[in-house]
Structure 1
Amino acid sequence: MTNGLQTISPGEHRLAGDIIAAGFADDPVNCWTFRNPAALRPVYTEMARALYLRVGFGHRCADKAASLWLPPGVHKHFGLRSTLTMARHILGKGGVRAARNALLIDQAMERKHPTSDHYYLFAIAARPEHQGKGYGGALMAKALERIDAQQQPAYLENSKPENTSFYRRFGFDIVEELRVADDAPPLLLMWRPAQS
């Protein structure tokens, strides 16, 4: 499945945000965090614009599926303006509890994030009507070509346990299960060693 596979340009942040929001609309951790799927599109669009397509990279399969990555040595930092933009959408669409949950999950992910050099997969998703058709696998394989050429490890947070077998197929293993609150769904932290 390589038809339409290409690098996402920085100007395509709205497309990236739209695809990822659609793909994550039923995601347990996202539902717990944002409490309203209407927050997903503006938040993911701002993340893509401010960080992942500015200092990271992504791929897409036409307008059906997309992924966003950060390379080694690049840390998650959105800046004040983008943070306030995302907070406005989270609070406005999900309320105080969504803002609290977003802060909890962000702090927990930051504490657990590996400190050694690695590629970080922020998101990989297909629109619901295109899931199960091989787009995610094509996106993952494309990024892993680059990662393996540089003999670097990779890391991700799996927010949907049903996707564990997909990630394992590409060499990721669970290193920890994280729950940020008693009522929060699990977040599976997964690591892929560098391939020689």
Structure 2
Amino acid sequence: MGVAIRRAGEEDRGEVVRLLDQGFSADPVSNWVFPSPERLRQRHAALMDAFTSIALEEGHVDLAVDGTGCALWASVPAGAHGDDDDPVRFREAVDPDNERVEQIARLTAAVHPTDRAHAYLMMIAVSADVRGQGVGAALINSVLEECDRAGLPAYLEASSLRSRALYERLGFAFMGTPVELPGGPFMYPMWREPRG
């Protein structure tokens, strides 16, 4: 199955947020951030919108032309470590009364590699009706091919063992120590060296 992909812009924000909201509403990490089903319904889209803003500002968003999937990427320079107030601002933008929004931002920032520039796959979502048909792999591989040409590594955090296995098939390797969300699931930092 050929997947046509284009770079999304601000005008695509609604479609991207909808895909992410649907794709991650049952994800174990999203359900840890929003343990109340009502709060998940109310604020989850705001979390996805905040991630979309970061990708549009610090990287790019790839969108399947037919609207079946999207991938959020950030370009991370060597030595990047962010501002200590970034998690606070993130929480204020998403759900000011929910300390888990800030907590997950701090926990993932603490393990994010800073020694080398890399492409960071922040999130990827594929419509349920086309999962397993290669849309996600196409969205990821289009950027990994660019990384390989540029000699640039890639990084992500898998939110489940299932997604970790999918990323391993694309050349990512688990970095050895998971991120443990207090009382919740694990996240798996993964790194991919460029292929020559």
Q: Does 1:70 align with 2:74?
A: yes
The amino acid that maps onto 1:87 is: D
- Residue 48 of structure 1: aligned partner: 52
1:95-149 Cα distance to aligned partner (Å, 9 max, x none): xxxx122222111111111002111110011122222221101101111121111
Q: 1:2 to 1:160 in 2, by over 3 A?
A: same
Distance in 2 separating the partners of 1:75 and 1:120? 13
Assess if the C-alpha contact under 8 Å between 1:8 and 1:58 holds in 2.
yes
Query: For 1:136-147, what aligned pairs fall within 5 Å after superposition?
Result: 136-147=136-147
Q: Does 1:103 align with 2:117?
A: no
- Residue 15 of structure 1: aligned partner: 15
- Residue 94 of structure 1: aligned partner: none
Stretches of structure 2 that go unaligned for 5 or more consecutive residues are none
Assess if the C-alpha contact under 8 Å between 2:47 and 2:94 holds in 1.
yes
Q: Which runs of 4+ in 1 moved over 4 A?
A: 74-83
Deviation at 1:83, TM superposition (A): 5.0
1:2-60 Cα distance to aligned partner (Å, 9 max, x none): 343211123322211111111111111111112243222122123313x2112211211
Deviation at 1:82, TM superposition (A): 6.3
Q: Does 1:165 align with 2:157?
A: no
Total equivalences in the alignment: 185
- Residue 95 of structure 2: aligned partner: 87
Assess if the C-alpha contact under 8 Å between 1:23 and 1:128 holds in 2.
yes
- Residue 123 of structure 1: aligned partner: 123
Distance in 1 separating the partners of 2:180 and 2:119? 23
The SS at the match of 1:53 is: helix
1:53-111 Cα distance to aligned partner (Å, 9 max, x none): 122112111221100001132766769876533124xx4xxxxxxx1222221111111
Distance in 2 separating the partners of 1:82 and 1:164? 25
Q: 1:179 to 1:166 in 2, by over 3 A?
A: same
- Residue 96 of structure 1: aligned partner: none
- Residue 179 of structure 1: aligned partner: 180
